[in-house]
Structure 1
């Protein structure tokens, strides 16, 4: 009877996290449009510093209250955590915010939505994971979709090599995030995701702050409109603190593979939010590219797991709850 109760408990918990994870792509999709508006009033690096510096302080408060700060882990994993901060917080967000000055939020979200595919490819090349036809098909579709968006359906653009600088910056952001993810696969073994997120956010924010002094005037922050302040609060609280917390909980409860599928919804949410709230236009190239990217990422990241026997499910539940 005790085992059966544990099974029901875990089942309810799993169903709950599946629903909560739907908020993550909603919050992250909204961050594209809000960030694009905020950088019309302050410089990109100042905006990034405000977002992640504030989020880092909130996360630090949470982790101290919960008693999860770990100096021993920091001492042993400092290099890996530092590299994660440089790639995932500093360089990724520097490219992200600057890119939004030159391209649309829709294009950016489409390019970034290929992240799970490239993380998987990197894991095959550097972490010895297995290659398969499903991954190859997904990679091809995703790359084709991004390529179509970048050239805007015009082969004249391809011939003249006149690519949008913002799209190229988003590709740089993409690879920064991929490197961050691959390092994280090694560094986060046995380390709390909340602790990792807090440390990397704080370290990355320091470098963003240093870069911000060469990017604009901090006095501009005082002149920000009420709309921009609301958008900044949204990015800090919802897109960063709550978004990353739910993401980490999802990875903890249902695994990284299943959680990563939710990334497919980011460009859809970014598109309708940008069109509805910020008056952006969306063309057939973006719609077709969106469909190809989402399909490709889904094919590459979705693994048809074999159904486990009831005994296997019970054993895993006991190990988790004990």
Structure 2
């Protein structure tokens, strides 16, 4: 069972890494709002029957009891998070984006300590400091002492905004009452693509930019990192526990680096060293089994991603 669970996590994080690589390619051909619309419409079409038959939700009752939280999560996590991420990919590399995005779990823990008064251990504080140092190394291209003199890449700056948004999204999401996991992402994906509808005419697609590869890329994003990754994540979490699954998210950086290298991208020493520091720091700050024997479910649930 453990082998099966790790295989699920392997592909889950591989697809999330693919979102960074393919997303950067597709942004050249599709306006960002169309990417978000297509991604969550495709995901919704697959998620709806799955949620209906596996979780048997009372849709209207769940929405009525949690509509404020669900609307917030949909706008922040499904629309704005993706909008800013795909916009960032127009200006920065997929690897930089994934490395900065790796701060998510640690930042969530930090926000939990600030907003929810959760207790932080010394090891977690050290891990967070290391993680932020690793990101600083990446975005300054190995010259952290010039942090206040550097003109940052616009994409890197946008990714920093993204991780703060995701931390708030994740903490607010904990307030949703009695909403099963697949049902939750089904509802937020539905609201997500509905919210984008009024904006589609404002950003018309240029037919000259369309090609088969771009369309395949959109379908890939809708099915693999949006639908399949979520399902595999939840299956693996049930088998191994959320703490171990959370540790696996560091694979996103590694997979993105490997795919980028295979596609001919040059990896900077600052990206490699910074990435290793980030991964070590996040593992330490997250209180994963690598450093602690016990991980509370309450904390580990924060690692879940739509």
TM-score when scaled to structure 1? 0.84
- Among 284, 288, 292, which residue is 2:269 paired with? 284
1:218 aligns to what SS in structure 2? coil
Measure the CA separation in 2 of the matches of 1:254 and 1:127.
27
Tell me the residue number matched to 2:187: 199
- Structure 2 unpaired stretches of 5+: 296-306
* Post-superposition offset of 1:147: 0.7
Tell me the residue number matched to 1:269: 255
TM-score when scaled to structure 2? 0.88
**Does the C-alpha gap of structure 1 residues 212 and 104 become closer, same or farther in structure 2, counting only changes over 3 Å?**
farther
Tell me the residue number matched to 1:8: none
1:61 aligns to what SS in structure 2? helix
Q: How many pairs are equivalent?
A: 291
Tell me the residue number matched to 1:68: 56
- Among 205, 216, 221, which residue is 1:218 paired with? 205
* Post-superposition offset of 1:159: 4.4
**Does the C-alpha gap of structure 1 residues 155 and 184 become closer, same or farther in structure 2, counting only changes over 3 Å?**
closer
Measure the CA separation in 2 of the matches of 1:210 and 1:249.
35
Contact 2:124/2:284 (<8 A) preserved: yes
Measure the CA separation in 2 of the matches of 1:130 and 1:239.
33
Matching of residues 36-51 of structure 1 within 5 Å: 36-51=24-39
Greater mean alpha carbon deviation, residues 38-47 or residues 99-108: 38-47
**Does the C-alpha gap of structure 1 residues 168 and 211 become closer, same or farther in structure 2, counting only changes over 3 Å?**
farther
1:160 aligns to what SS in structure 2? coil
Matching of residues 1-322 of structure 1 within 5 Å: 12=1, 15-66=3-54, 68-70=56-58, 71-154=60-143, 158-187=147-176, 189-214=177-202, 216-220=203-207, 224-277=210-263, 279-301=264-286, 302-303=288-289, 304-305=292-293
* Post-superposition offset of 1:224: 2.2
* Post-superposition offset of 1:66: 4.1
Tell me the residue number matched to 2:304: none
Contact 1:27/1:238 (<8 A) preserved: yes
1:186 aligns to what SS in structure 2? coil
2:249 aligns to what SS in structure 1? helix
CA deviations on 1:40-95 (whole Å, 9 max, x unpaired) are 11112212221122212221233234462322111101111111111111110011
Contact 1:157/1:163 (<8 A) preserved: no
**Does the C-alpha gap of structure 1 residues 179 and 31 become closer, same or farther in structure 2, counting only changes over 3 Å?**
same
- Moved segments of 4+, more than 6 Å: none
Contact 2:55/2:183 (<8 A) preserved: no
Contact 1:45/1:97 (<8 A) preserved: no
2:91 aligns to what SS in structure 1? coil
Measure the CA separation in 1 of the matches of 2:214 and 2:78.
21
Contact 2:136/2:147 (<8 A) preserved: no
Tell me the residue number matched to 1:4: none
- Structure 1 unpaired stretches of 5+: 1-11, 308-322
